Amino acid sequence: MKQTLRMFDLAGAHEDVRFSPNCWRTRLALAHKGLPVQTVAWRFTEKDAIARSGQGKVPVLVAGEQWLHESWDIAEYLEDHHPEGPSLFGCANGRATARFVNQWASDVLHPAIARVVVPDIPAALHAKDQEYFRTTREAAFGRSFETIAGEREPALAALRQTVTPLRNLLQHQPYVAGAAPAYADHAVFGAFQWARIITPLALVAPDDPVAAWVDRMLDAYGGLARRARLAYAA
Ligand SMILES: N[C@@H](CCC(=O)N[C@@H](CS)C(=O)NCC(=O)O)C(=O)O
């Protein structure tokens, strides 16, 4: 019998507001593979619910007896255990290159976007997560949310500079992975979806090739990402 996959997915005050960039990577990878998943709304402070994964962050994917975490490791698991679905990486070289793209998104893009969107996150959060989120993030940034909010304009300009390689790439091809979306796109797009769900602020100009690619990704997989509930509309 085919096992039902379950995924713990970060949620806001409204349980349909799913705003984690790392969880979006996994949601899109599952859709790419054609694998149905039952998502479980999870809040930052519900560490007990995912304790069996041995750590405290999402995405966590439950496949039978296995509790998997780390979005990259989950992608590799899906690729290796579900070869019947379309490939996430294309080939061994593609897997290695997608890993670099994934790392760039995590190490460079996420912090750049965080400086723009973090001040809007508390408005989306469940009451029980408010204090935890502020304490942990202000400690990580070394600055108050109020200070970060005051630096938003230069942060936006810096972000637009940071996405230069993405912008230039998308002038030559419709997707990061080439002619069709694959995991390299999921890894990067998750961050744009995070921002889109949290804030109405445009991360890039409307005529930026990155904006056109975001639009294509919103339509991919039957419009899965476009259907997502926006925090500020909830
Ligand atoms: N490297 C991990 C990062 C996971 C991660 O940071 N998840 C965030 C949500 S986007 C989280 O669960 N944070 C919980 C916390 O900060 O307590 C991955 O790619 O899965």
Sequential pLDDT tens for the chain (234 residues): 467 899 999 999 999 999 999 999 999 999 999 999 999 999 999 999 999 999 999 999 999 999 999 999 999 999 999 999 999 999 999 999 999 999 999 999 999 999 999 999 999 999 999 999 999 999 999 999 999 999 999 999 999 999 999 999 999 999 999 999 999 999 999 999 999 999 999 999 999 999 999 999 999 999 999 999 999 986
118 and 145 Cβ atoms separated by less than 8 Å: yes
The atom of ligand 1 lying closest to the CA of 10 is 9
Contacts of 51 (CB under 8 A, 6+ apart): none
Phi, psi for 177 (deg, rounded to 5):
-80, -5
pLDDT, position 60: 98
Strand stretches in 102-158, DSSP E: none
Question: How many whole angstroms from 87 Cα to the centroid of ligand 1?
Answer: 25
- CA angle 80/84/85 to nearest 5° reads 90
Q: Whose CA is nearest to atom 12 of ligand 1?
A: 57
Residue 164 tokens, joined: 């230069």
Q: Whose CA is nearest to atom 13 of ligand 1?
A: 57
- How many angstroms separate the CA atoms of 150 and 84, rounded? 49
pLDDT, position 234: 61
The atom of ligand 1 lying closest to the CA of 132 is 17
pTM of the model: 0.98
Question: How many whole angstroms from 206 Cα to the centroid of ligand 1?
Answer: 29
Residue 121 tokens, joined: 């996150």
Q: Please count the CA atoms within 13 angstroms of the CA of 40 that sit on its side-chain side.
A: 15
The atom of ligand 1 lying closest to the CA of 45 is 17
- How many angstroms separate the CA atoms of 196 and 214, rounded? 10
Q: Could you give the domains of the chain?
A: 5-81 (3.40.30.10), 92-225 (1.20.1050.10)
pLDDT, position 123: 97
Query: How far does CA 86 lie from the centroid of its chain?
Result: 20
Q: Please count the CA atoms within 13 angstroms of the CA of 60 that sit on its side-chain side.
A: 25
pLDDT, position 134: 97
